[in-house]
Chain A
């Protein structure tokens, strides 16, 4: 086993099903940094979608299931700030409300060994330059759950700044992109209005790529950009970090 040891990948159902490239890139980056990556194949969904949509009990059941799947893993890494935020912050609160004390304790214990990808790279591995090469102009969109939920701060930016060839474009607008899970379909018009302003801000940066640490937000932004044939694409931060010369 390598020096950095074993990490279990919580790829998320969203990436598994819709954006497998994000999972593949996460594996590539972690392996490049000396980790031995495991993928517990029993994993499905962490329960965020149900929990945030009012399905508390379903959401908690899926969170409990995730807890069981990853019970024996010393370190769990996920390329999704919102799923990590759900498991670490929201689900314990809802479990507390539902009187599921055992689950609260389990989630709190998991929280101590569950890392969002940039947290893991910057804090646990202590690395900023992951040896990536990406010669493009990139605007970084701080997603709500990464910014206000997990408080990732400048970790993603530190990683991006260390990428060889990458030109970082400042994105002034730090507002929500309008995704918000079921919000995007339940209040599709408001969601679209928010997305429109985000796209305007992105265009103003002159970037060719919009990067973030949540595939769900990127599906919203990328879906809007493609709908508008804007000539600006979206990539998960992991996909940029995975690129080499």
Chain B
């Protein structure tokens, strides 16, 4: 019986429209990224610097977070600490209630997707409006994100046009042109920007030294949400903190080229606390743990927390680009999701994800902070096996193979059995293989038999 990722991936593979959309979109972003990265002479040095800053930050995270808290408070912001999703959601809902907000604007934020903030707000009687184009598409269609950066990557233009004609542009005829579709979204969003005085964002970075919080985006909706409303609440995973202001120099180069293949992202909004007469009058920063401290405890696994959410690993992944994001069952899909989700949620909640990869290594090559995702996958496979367990048949086959490999005599006997189609080695090459692939003909002689004969 298929379960977990294997089952979801198999279903996704059957969706020809999805396959086509995914293949086109990932190939386009892949090429664009390769070109943008190729023109930076010191790209490898930048990656090294990014990795080093992240490693140093993780090693001093409690200190950096306290520095951040002080700096934000000094500049008139308020910092809240949330142990888990429930606490974070309660903080945001409480702030909305305190301000009498029945609606809130949302800047695209995976942290808030992770804690299912929109659903929690809805339960508290507050409507959240997504303002990022693709997040809007997903919200209108009751769908969820399938890509960290391009949440509606699984949709094409025509699907979006039909959706808009049913929802925000009801009664109008649109075209499949991106500009027309963006225009329809803009009309819908502009009214919201001007009306709703309460916004919730995520954060790409926060600087411990100065208390500055940064959101990097392409559409300008983030700029609107972080400047127009009276109240701004930012929900940020604790791993997003950077020690020093100058660290931004490295990441603002790494992120846009890796993410969208742009030299520079169109909008970089950076704010520190509140400024009377300029921007929001109230700023709240919610520091979200939600499993991150547990990840930190795993010396190898914690490298997954270095992720800056560029999604380069998704776009180059031969698995992700075929099955899309939903198969990973998490707001963090693709290779980084396969190492992050099981750690954040607990291995028993996502035990199949570390196997959602052929270990091809394309993710590591593309990662702007050099997260060794293949090694992390192997590491987590080991942890799943030790801490959660493995299917009985698989355990038995690997156990038999280990016995055979541990002793030359047993190994040579297993080789002879293999020729007869039985035994440990034969079991490993069982049914799932043969559906789409021939098995090699058992050779008349093993190499060692040939070698012995040769004398």
Residues of A within 8 A of B (CB): 11, 13, 15-21, 23-24, 27, 39, 41-42, 44-45, 47, 49-56, 58, 61-62, 65, 90, 93-94, 97, 144-145, 148-149, 175-176, 178-195, 219-220, 222-224, 226-227
Residues of A within 8 A of B415 (CB): 16-17
Residues of B within 8 A of A191 (CB): 358
Partner of B402, one of A27, A58, A176, A187: A58
**Given A17-B418, A190-B13, A190-B323: A44 and B405 interface contact (C-beta under 8 Å):** yes
Q: Does B172 contact A (CB under 8 A)?
A: no
12 interchain pairs, CB-CB under 8 A: A23-B447, A41-B452, A42-B408, A51-B378, A56-B382, A93-B300, A148-B361, A180-B358, A182-B355, A185-B432, A193-B13, A194-B319
Partner of A148, one of B5, B360, B405, B446: B360
Bound form: Cα–Cα A53–B385 in Å: 9
Residues of B within 8 A of A176 (CB): 318, 358, 360, 362
Bound form: Cα–Cα A44–B424 in Å: 14
Q: Are B381 and A13 in touch, CB under 8 angstroms?
A: no
**Given A148-B364, A176-B362: A94 and B445 interface contact (C-beta under 8 Å):** no
| Nearest opposing residue in chain B for A27, CB measure | B451
Q: Are A193 and B322 in touch, CB under 8 angstroms?
A: yes
- Top 4 closest A-B pairs, CB basis? A180-B358, A223-B437, A54-B381, A176-B360
Bound form: Cα–Cα A227–B357 in Å: 24
Min CB gap A140→B, angstroms: 17
**Given A13-B405, A50-B401, A50-B402: A187 and B9 interface contact (C-beta under 8 Å):** yes
Residues of A within 8 A of B437 (CB): 192, 195, 220, 223-224, 226-227
Partner of B411, one of A44, A178, A220, A222: A44
* Interface core residue of B386, B436, B446, B448 (most chain A CB under 10 Å): B436
Residues of B within 8 A of A41 (CB): 408, 448, 451-452
Q: Are A186 and B405 in touch, CB under 8 angstroms?
A: no
Q: Are B358 and A189 in touch, CB under 8 angstroms?
A: no
Bound form: Cα–Cα A148–B366 in Å: 11
What is the 8 Å Cβ interface bit string for chain B, positions 1-31, against chain A (1 contact, 0 not)? 0000110011001000000000000000000
Q: Are A183 and B358 in touch, CB under 8 angstroms?
A: yes
Bound form: Cα–Cα A121–B218 in Å: 50
Residues of A within 8 A of B322 (CB): 190, 193-194
Bound form: Cα–Cα A188–B357 in Å: 11
Bound form: Cα–Cα A145–B378 in Å: 14
Residues of B within 8 A of A (CB): 5-6, 9-10, 13, 299-300, 318-319, 322-323, 354-362, 364-365, 374-375, 378-379, 381-382, 384-386, 390, 394, 398, 401-402, 404-408, 411, 415, 418, 425, 428-430, 432-433, 435-440, 442-443, 445-452
Bound form: Cα–Cα A177–B319 in Å: 11
| Nearest opposing residue in chain B for A223, CB measure | B437
Residues of A within 8 A of B13 (CB): 189-190, 193
Q: Are B381 and A226 in touch, CB under 8 angstroms?
A: no
Residues of A within 8 A of B433 (CB): 184-185, 188, 223
Residues of A within 8 A of B406 (CB): 44, 61-62, 65
Bound form: Cα–Cα A20–B408 in Å: 17
Q: Are B443 and A19 in touch, CB under 8 angstroms?
A: yes
Bound form: Cα–Cα A50–B397 in Å: 11
Bound form: Cα–Cα A49–B449 in Å: 23
Question: Could you list 8 further interchain pairs (A-B, Cβ under 8 angstroms) beyond the known A185-B429, A223-B439?
Answer: A55-B385, A62-B406, A148-B362, A186-B432, A187-B6, A192-B436, A223-B437, A223-B440
